[in-house]
A and B are shown apart, each in its own frame.
Chain A
Amino acid sequence: MSVTDAVLYDHPGPRAKIRNRILTVVLGIAMLAVLYWIYTKFDDKNQWAGPLWKPFLEGETWTSYILPGLWGTVSAAAVAMVLSLVFGVIFAVGRLSDHWWLSIPAGAVVEFFRAVPLLLMMFFIFFGIPFLTEEPMPPFWAVVISLTLYNGSVLAEAFRAGIKSVPTGQSEAGYAIGMRKNLVMREILIPQAARAMLPVIVSQLVVLVKDTALGYIIGYTELLQDGVNTLGANFGNTVAAAIVAAIIYIVLNASLTFFAGYLERRTRRTGRAPRSPKTAPVTTGTVADGAATI
């Protein structure tokens, strides 16, 4: 993938080629042996038995468990994505404001919600808020609000780093032609920042999709709840159902990541994106574009 990978070792000569081949075969066999060992372990417990996997060949399993669950995951993720992008932009701009009464509270909110575990937030909203409002909190909104607060705060930091990475000449040129700060921000800085931080933003969205699975703990009917817990309880095949659900999540998130890679290549091609920010904020970890956010 990069220059460094190839220069860590010499181009193999005849002896190294033989050695690499031997190692490939030996390690390949070792890995197959481990896989076989796992297979037999599952086999001992009858986890590969036909009846456990048969439900996945029937349409009804998909229409009554997996697809409704997937819909729960996707709808909560979609609403939370939109809301957290809005939250992120607002609080990034707020934190960069010239007025201390705006920048300090915005910074405090972002730092606080970034530091609080999502599950703690979700429990507070789902179990705590009803005591205050005396109305039950729908699980959907408990999931969406907590996802928005957490991921929105992380995105706010990503946007802020992105805005700071835009060369100062850009905003200076804006001021020079008579734009106000508001207009400079909206028309010049944010569009460029969004482009620069695209990989980080999309990987945070992958995190968001994965975190919808926490909804399972408060009884929100998403993929883990419907497709693994309920389905597994009905057919006695929790392990099989968990494997199928994991594959669905992996396909969903890998396609999001692939989409991010495609967008990044496109941005690079036009060559208009500003350089990556020099100082990496701790949460976004720009050294590893899109790798460090969990």
Chain B
Amino acid sequence: MDVFSDSANIDTYVTGFLWILKLTAAATVGALVLGVLLAGMRVSPIPVLRGFGTAWVNTFRNTPLTLIVFFCYFGLYSALSLELSDDIDTNNYWLGVIGLSVYTAAFVCEAIRSGINTVPVGQAEAARAIGMSFIQTLTLIVLPQAGRAVVAPLGSIFIALAKNATIVGTIGLMESSSAMKELINANGDAVFPIFFVFAGTFAIFLIPTGYAFGWLANRLAVKR
């Protein structure tokens, strides 16, 4: 493990995972907000909003994230000169957050929509019977129950998001997979230790997170 006794290499490793953490945190918030809004649109009484939600989901769910991130850089930044920060790394970071959020929101939307389908019809009918509007029915009655039903799928979406955050390396952010690539190229004699440290870090964080979401899903599930 000579590779990891060099402080410069440790630094590369830590910075890589810090970027992943920051990307995941910001994109989780972005995707959750956007995804819930899109799900609300898709079940709303207004056809234009339903169409918008459907179009969003079908576009971003079927486009590779690599292409979306690529487009954020070459389209939004290079061609449209959308500058989010003077610092090149911070700029690429926010471009990556945009790409990850719009992509993941499509999956969040579909998960929540299927959660809405698990809420018994009687719940929404009762809400309507006491005179609640669509927005009230959705935000007070249906979404809270739907949210509890989709903890497990949302958990797997956010775990996937953490892994997908490595793709932002495409546009030049030194996240963990680019960091690993650099370390491997510089230390050809220690390929296995380097891989197992990087892969192991992901596994140590993500496998327990998966089980935690499973446990949480069981705990929060509405008993019917």
Selected contact of A282 from candidates B46, B134, B142, B152, CB within 8 Å? B152
A interface: dominant SS: helix
Given A7-B125, A118-B163, A128-B195: A246 and B63 within 8 A (CB)?
yes
Report chain A residues within 8 Å CB of B30: none
Report chain B residues within 8 Å CB of A262: none
The reply to whether A47 and B79 form a contact with Cβ atoms under 8 Å apart is yes
Q: Give the number of residues in A that approach B within 8 Å (Cβ atoms).
A: 71
Give the interface residue-count category, chain B.
35 or more
Q: Which residue of B lies closest to A125 (CB)?
A: B195
Report chain A residues within 8 Å CB of B64: 210-214, 224, 249
Say yes or no for B144: interface residue by CB 8 A criterion.
no
The reply to whether B117 and A254 form a contact with Cβ atoms under 8 Å apart is no
Selected contact of A249 from candidates B63, B138, B213, CB within 8 Å? B63
The reply to whether A291 and B58 form a contact with Cβ atoms under 8 Å apart is no
The reply to whether B150 and A242 form a contact with Cβ atoms under 8 Å apart is no
Given A111-B203, A294-B104: A128 and B194 within 8 A (CB)?
yes
Binds B, one of A23-31, A164-172, A267-275: A23-31
Say yes or no for B111: interface residue by CB 8 A criterion.
yes
B interface: dominant SS: helix
**Shortest Cβ gap from B120 to chain A (Å):** 9
State the CA gap A36–B128 with chains docked (Å). 38
**Shortest Cβ gap from A268 to chain B (Å):** 16
The reply to whether A214 and B185 form a contact with Cβ atoms under 8 Å apart is no
Chain A interface residues (CB < 8 Å from chain B): 2-5, 7-10, 12, 16, 20, 23-24, 27-28, 31, 41-42, 45, 47, 111-112, 115-121, 123-124, 127-129, 131-132, 206, 210-214, 216-217, 224, 228, 232, 238-239, 242, 245-246, 249-250, 252-254, 257, 280-285, 287-289, 291-294
What are the 8 A-B residue pairs with the smallest beta carbon separation, nearest first?
Answer: A285-B153, A213-B64, A291-B110, A292-B153, A294-B160, A253-B62, A288-B114, A117-B163
- 25 A-B pairs in the complex with CB atoms less than 8 angstroms apart: A4-B124, A7-B128, A8-B45, A8-B116, A8-B142, A9-B134, A10-B128, A20-B45, A115-B203, A116-B199, A119-B167, A123-B180, A123-B184, A124-B195, A128-B191, A210-B65, A213-B67, A214-B64, A214-B167, A216-B70, A282-B152, A283-B156, A285-B152, A288-B113, A294-B157
Chain B interface residues (CB < 8 Å from chain A): 43-49, 52, 58-59, 61-67, 70-71, 74-75, 78-81, 104, 107, 110-111, 113-119, 121, 124-125, 128, 133-134, 137-138, 142, 149-150, 152-157, 159-161, 163-167, 169-170, 176-177, 180-181, 184-185, 188-189, 191-192, 194-195, 198-199, 202-203, 206-207, 210-211, 213-214, 217
